[in-house]
Amino acid sequence: MPVQDSAVAVMHQGDLPGLPELPGLPGLPGPAAGSFGAEVLSKLGHELRSPLAAIIGLTKVMLMRLSAGTADAATQARQLKLLQASAAASLATIERVVDLARIESGLACPLPRLVDCRGIVTDVAAQLRTAAAERGLRLCVDVPDRPVMVSTDPDIAGRLLRELAGNALRFAGAGEVRIRLKAGAEPLVIDVSDDGPGIAAAEQARIFGPFERGERAADSDDGAAGLGLYLASKQAEQIGAQLSVASQAGSGSTFSVTFTDSSAQPGTGPTAIRRS
């Protein structure tokens, strides 16, 4: 097998002989403090081990080719993209674990204030437009023309929406992702929809658990660890919102964030929808 092909194989199998298991992360709550018990930490070690093993294996191959004088720019560029993807996957997992640990330990306290919910939606869309374009997807946003006020922590609400929209981008296939702020009547709802493979009814409750992924998601090669929707559900709890999913296998999915009647204060009267 050529050296570059063996590097790709390392990336996909995510394993190298002799690489030690990652130790448990200090400072995370134990079983008595929440969901991060020994079993979850073991899964975390596995999820981090795979991309880190790929990074180690691929850098070793690249160094071998440099030493042998057989490296070429095109191959190195492709390999560097693989390294970047593995590093990004590891970082995303670590960031989610840190967020979850802060939530579980009570360190992440929401700071609600009255904000225009349209800004949360448009900010998240702006952050993800480049990622959508790189995947050849349209990111569509529907928001009312007039302010939609809600009492919430905008930082937590934004991270929650970013998790949902990022998840939709991974599974939208060749279609589009839609973020819609529905403020015509209480309660206020934000929908994130995609044209992806959908989620079977039997899996819809399970996907909100830690390190859980739907069957079709598990078959993909996107490097996701299965923490995004779990984190989103915890973030929804923090701001007193409800997170739900409506989906059928083969028909896409819609994740909905429903704010409580007491926190949402949509404008009165009919509102036009601004689309982008």
- What whole-number distance in Å separates Cα of residue 80 and Cα of residue 60? 12
Task: Choose one of 74, 104, 134: the last residue of a domain.
Answer: 104
- Domain range holding 80? 3-104
- What whole-number distance in Å separates Cα of residue 264 and Cα of residue 183? 9
What total of structural domains would you count in the chain?
2
Query: Going residue by residue through the chain (276 aa), what tens digit of pLDDT does each one get?
Result: 333 333 334 444 333 333 333 333 434 444 333 445 666 666 667 677 777 888 888 888 888 888 888 878 888 888 888 888 778 777 877 888 888 888 888 888 899 999 999 999 999 999 999 989 988 999 999 999 999 999 999 999 999 999 999 999 988 877 899 999 997 767 899 999 998 888 888 888 888 887 766 565 545 544 455 788 989 999 999 999 999 999 888 888 999 999 975 454 444 332 333 444
164 φ, ψ to 5°?
-65, -45
255 and 137 in one domain?
yes
80 and 21 in one domain?
yes
- What whole-number distance in Å separates Cα of residue 167 and Cα of residue 255? 10
140 and 264 in one domain?
yes
256 and 228 in one domain?
yes
- What whole-number distance in Å separates Cα of residue 106 and Cα of residue 157? 17
124 and 45 in one domain?
no
Tell me which residue of 123, 125, 158, 120 sits closest to 141, measured CA to CA.
125
Query: How many Cα atoms are found within 13 Å in the side-chain-facing hemisphere of 33?
Result: 15
pLDDT for position 168: 92
User: What residues contact residue 260 under an 8 Å CB cut-off, 6+ apart?
Assistant: 187, 240, 241, 242
211 and 84 in one domain?
no
198 and 154 in one domain?
yes
CA distances from 13 to 54, 98, 178, 223 (A): 8, 26, 34, 11
Alpha helix positions (H), 183-227: 215-218
**CB-based contact 148:267 (threshold 8 Å):** yes
- What whole-number distance in Å separates Cα of residue 217 and Cα of residue 226? 9
Query: What predicted TM-score, i.e. pTM, was given to this entire model?
Result: 0.68
Neighbours of 225 (CB within 10 A): 23
26 and 159 in one domain?
no
